[in-house]
């Protein structure tokens, strides 16, 4: 029995390592602008958030159909990270010391490469410069291709003790270095080694004869902690990587892949020299759509899969009244990993139910699951730099997804003392403005600018003074229970109706002299109050989602009032006084909720209070309930 399309559908693994192991990466890899710039060498510092595709680019560059020259991946582990963090040299700064050990690592790798490369690409007759490199490697036990840590540890010991043998380059140990500091001795010895590598590269004509040797440094988050030594480890790497291209005349390049949250914490004097090397990965809607389509086609073995087939046949055409592709892309953070996980969650929900295609119900189920994943993942992603994140999320739990600055100030204040106590090292960030800056920077909050809500990317300015309206990203709303723009209680008239005839209506107090009952007048008053509020709402300066929500709730009051009026006309008894007091209480409560939400100077809140008081007067001055499910008549 042939498997259904849903069973065969698969959008790939969560990370490049497993996609590569599955043999999938090359077939579905998109050659984005970031990849092309890294391949050409125009950009050598690739920055991106977790899941943005840094490792995919790194591995594709190292694949046979990527960089056409030799690529050397370097991924330090915990042991290597500890070794570099501990490496110090008397007489130089931590950044400089770490840059020297990284330069040593690159020089040794280049020397090994040249000893092999000279034979295979340039003939059997070795140049004297290549023989010198071979002699250096043998004298310093660097000929093997052992684990990265082993060579690193050997290098740190020799640089610290000035025990590096340079006889192969015609230099005796300690020549000209008497009385020099550890840093000066190590720097001089390293210059001799780098000069020997550069000489061999020139003698062989490598820069002109073939593509450069390419070092690919990735997964620095494995060795990163928030401390000065980790800062120096990464800063030293960036300085050394910059040195490589200049030192070896373009015959050797180094490309570093680094997470944005790590890079943005660095602060060093030469950072401005890296601006031309930087590239921040940013995915747009079109690229993500191509990624989804490419991966779906590869899974189904389809020569060609159209967007209409993916989003109209495999997936439902709409979800909650929204085109499915818009629904999905709006709720996934703009990076491949999030999109892949969301689409696979939709597919899994359908497959577990035995569906032949993904239904709207499957997507809605996956939405809830995906949102919970991402809220947890966001806290984990920034656990090192922002360990307090999970506590900040509580400020938004079961609230509307639109939050005004004043409302956030009100919510934050009861937690300030505890947060400062539990996270004393981060107290300077744990202010209302600091919280906004952090949550905007990680993509949790967007800021309302003009008629748009903007979420953080490399081009967006952080929230500015005077910006007071913020939105929780759609990705996180279901997990927080923030499905509406504001947490308004739904209107519930909480009124009783009685089935009866015309004789009962007479008993309810018809005003014979006017020909109109008091009940009718009260319901008309509620109707007119609703209509005035709706007209005021059109002119209100509320955000669209909030306006729509308020309009919806006032509309419920109006619809229920009209039904009550029809009941009355049809001979059914209605407790109009109770109805008017419920509407009055609800309008007052709505005004309070909007003010609590930070909407304080908006005329609609004053109009709600005015109409609430007017209805109380019409009903005879009684005090009614709040109109919510917990109101009392």
CB atoms within 10 A of CB 489: 16
3-state DSSP call for residue 590? helix
Q: How far is CA 473 from the centre of its chain?
A: 10
Task: Evaluate whether the domain defined by 5-15+284-381 bears CATH number 1.10.260.
Answer: no
CATH architecture type of domain 497-618 = Up-down Bundle (1.20)
3-state DSSP call for residue 171? coil
Q: How far is CA 281 from the centre of its chain?
A: 12
Tell me what pLDDT residue 458 has.
63
Tell me what pLDDT residue 621 has.
52
DSSP 460-505: PPPP-TT--EEEE-TTTHHHHT--SSS-PPPP-----EE---HHHH
The single-letter DSSP state of residue 2 is P
Residue 567: is its pLDDT beyond 50?
yes
Do 5-15+284-381 and 497-618 share a fold?
no
Region 16-38 average pLDDT: 75
Region 21-39 average pLDDT: 79
The pLDDT tens digits for 234-282 are 999 999 999 998 889 889 999 999 999 999 999 888 888 899 999 999 9
Tell me what pLDDT residue 546 has.
84
Tell me what pLDDT residue 176 has.
55
With 0-12 CB in 10 A as exposed, 13-18 as middle and 19+ as buried, what is 454? middle
Region 54-82 average pLDDT: 92
Residue 17: is its pLDDT beyond 90?
no
Strand 71-74 relative to strand 213-217, pairing = parallel
CA atoms within 13 A on the CB side of 624: 32
The pLDDT tens digits for 122-174 are 766 678 999 999 999 999 999 877 678 888 888 899 888 878 889 999 887 65
Least confident of 463-472, 521-530, 587-596: 587-596
Can you give the residue ranges of every domain in the chain? 5-15+284-381, 33-280, 389-480, 497-618
**C-alpha dist (Å) from residue 100 to 190, 214, 241, 445, 612:** 8, 19, 11, 41, 74
C-beta separation of 55 from 16 below 8 A: yes
Helix axis angle, 128-139 to 182-204, nearest 10° = 140
What residue spans of 404-443 are helical by DSSP H? 405-422, 432-441
Instruction: Pick the closest to residue 470 from 378, 371, 372, 400 (CA basis).
Output: 400
Residue 44: is its pLDDT beyond 50?
yes
Question: Which H, E and C letters describe 195-219, residue by residue?
Answer: HHHHHHHHHHCHHHHCCCEEEEECC
Tell me what pLDDT residue 603 has.
87
Beta bridge partners of 46: 257, 279
CB atoms within 10 A of CB 390: 14
Tell me what pLDDT residue 573 has.
82
Sheet holding 445-449, edge to edge: 402-404, 469-472, 445-449, 452-454
Instruction: Give me the phi and psi of 301, to 5 degrees please.
Output: 65, 30
3-state DSSP call for residue 72? strand
Residue 513: is its pLDDT beyond 90?
no
Under the banding of pLDDT at 50, 70 and 90, the label for residue 312 is very high
3-state DSSP call for residue 278? strand
- Cα first-last separation, the chain: 64
- Cα angle, residue 116 at apex, residues 113 and 122 outer, rounded to 5°: 110
Region 575-601 average pLDDT: 85
Give the Cα separation of 80 and 76 in Å (integer): 6
Under the banding of pLDDT at 50, 70 and 90, the label for residue 515 is very low
C-beta separation of 151 from 108 below 8 A: yes
Tell me what pLDDT residue 505 has.
33
Give the Cα separation of 279 and 302 in Å (integer): 34
Q: Is the dihedral of CA 436, 442, 444, 448 positive or negative?
A: positive
Instruction: Give me the phi and psi of 131, to 5 degrees please.
Output: -60, -35
Non-local (6+) Cβ contacts of 8 within 8 A are 299, 300, 301
Report the phi/psi class of residue 590: left, alpha or beta, with left for phi > 0 and alpha for psi in -120 to 50.
alpha
3-state DSSP call for residue 384? coil
C-beta separation of 196 from 133 below 8 A: yes
Greater model confidence, 419 or 493: 419
């Amino acid at each position: 029995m042939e498997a259904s399309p849903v069973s065969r559908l698969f959008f790939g693994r969560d990370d490049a390592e497993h996609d590569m192991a599955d043999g999938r990466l090359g077939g579905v890899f998109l050659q984005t602008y970031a990849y092309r710039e890294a391949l050409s060498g125009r950009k050598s510092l690739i920055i991106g958030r977790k899941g943005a595709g840094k490792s995919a680019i790194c591995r594709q560059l190292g694949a046979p159909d990527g960089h056409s020259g030799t690529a050397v991946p370097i991924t330090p582990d915990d042991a290597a990270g500890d070794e570099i963090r501990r490496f110090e040299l008397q007489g130089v700064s931590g950044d400089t010391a770490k840059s020297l050990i990284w330069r040593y690592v690159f020089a040794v790798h280049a020397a090994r490469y040249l000893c092999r490369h000279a034979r295979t690409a340039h003939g059997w007759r070795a140049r004297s410069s290549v023989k010198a490199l071979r002699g250096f490697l043998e004298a310093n036990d660097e000929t093997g291709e052992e684990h990265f840590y082993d060579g690193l540890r050997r290098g740190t010991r020799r640089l610290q003790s000035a025990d590096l043998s340079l006889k192969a380059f015609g230099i005796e140990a300690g020549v000209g270095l008497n009385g020099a500091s550890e840093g000066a001795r190590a720097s001089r010895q390293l210059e001799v080694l780098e000069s020997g590598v550069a000489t061999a590269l020139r003698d062989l004509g490598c820069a002109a004869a073939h593509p450069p040797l390419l070092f690919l440094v990735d997964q620095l988050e494995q060795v990163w902690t928030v401390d000065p030594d980790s800062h120096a480890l990464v800063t030293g790497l960036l300085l050394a990587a910059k040195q490589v291209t200049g030192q070896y005349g373009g015959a050797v390049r180094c490309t570093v892949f680094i997470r944005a949250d790590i890079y943005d914490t660095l602060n060093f004097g030469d950072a401005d020299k890296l601006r031309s090397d930087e590239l921040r990965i940013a995915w747009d809607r079109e690229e993500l759509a191509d990624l989804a389509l490419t991966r779906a086609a590869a899974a189904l073995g389809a020569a060609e899969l159209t967007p209409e087939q993916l989003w109209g046949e495999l997936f439902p055409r709409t979800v909650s009244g929204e085109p499915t592709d818009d629904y999905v892309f709006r709720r996934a953070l703009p990076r491949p990993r999030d999109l892949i996980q969301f689409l696979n969650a939709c597919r899994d929900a359908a497959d577990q139910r035995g569906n032949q295609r993904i239904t709207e119900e499957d997507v809605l189920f996956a939405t809830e699951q995906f949102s919970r994943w991402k809220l947890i993942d966001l806290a984990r992603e920034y656990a090192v730099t922002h360990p307090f994140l999970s506590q900040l999320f509580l400020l938004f739990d079961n609230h509307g997804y639109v939050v005004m600055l004043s409302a956030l100030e009100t919510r934050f204040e009861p937690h300030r003392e505890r947060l400062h106590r539990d996270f004393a090292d981060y107290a300077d960030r744990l202010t209302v403005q600091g919280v906004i800056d952090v949550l905007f920077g990680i993509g949790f909050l967007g800021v309302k600018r003009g008629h748009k809500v903007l979420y953080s990317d490399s081009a967006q300015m952080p929230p500015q003074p005077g910006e007071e309206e913020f939105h929780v990203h759609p990705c996180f709303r279901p997990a927080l229970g923030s499905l509406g723009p504001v947490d308004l209680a739904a209107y519930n008239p909480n009124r009783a109706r009685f089935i009866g005839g015309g004789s009962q209506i007479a008993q309810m107090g018809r005003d014979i002299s006017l020909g109109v009952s008091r009940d009718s007048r009260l319901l008309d008053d509620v109707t007119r109050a609703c209509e005035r509020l709706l007209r005021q709402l059109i002119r209100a300066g509320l955000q669209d989602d909030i306006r729509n929500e308020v309009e919806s709730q006032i509309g419920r009051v109006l619809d229920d009032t009209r039904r009550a009026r029809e009941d009355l006309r049809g001979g059914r008894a209605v407790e109009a006084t109770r109805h008017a007091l419920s509407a009055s209480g609800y309008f007052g409560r709505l005004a309070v909720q909007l003010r609590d939400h930070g909407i304080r100077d908006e005329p609609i809140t004053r109009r709600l209070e005015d109409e609430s008081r007017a209805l109380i007067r019409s009903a005879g001055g009684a005090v009614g309930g709040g109109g919510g499910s917990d109101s009392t008549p």
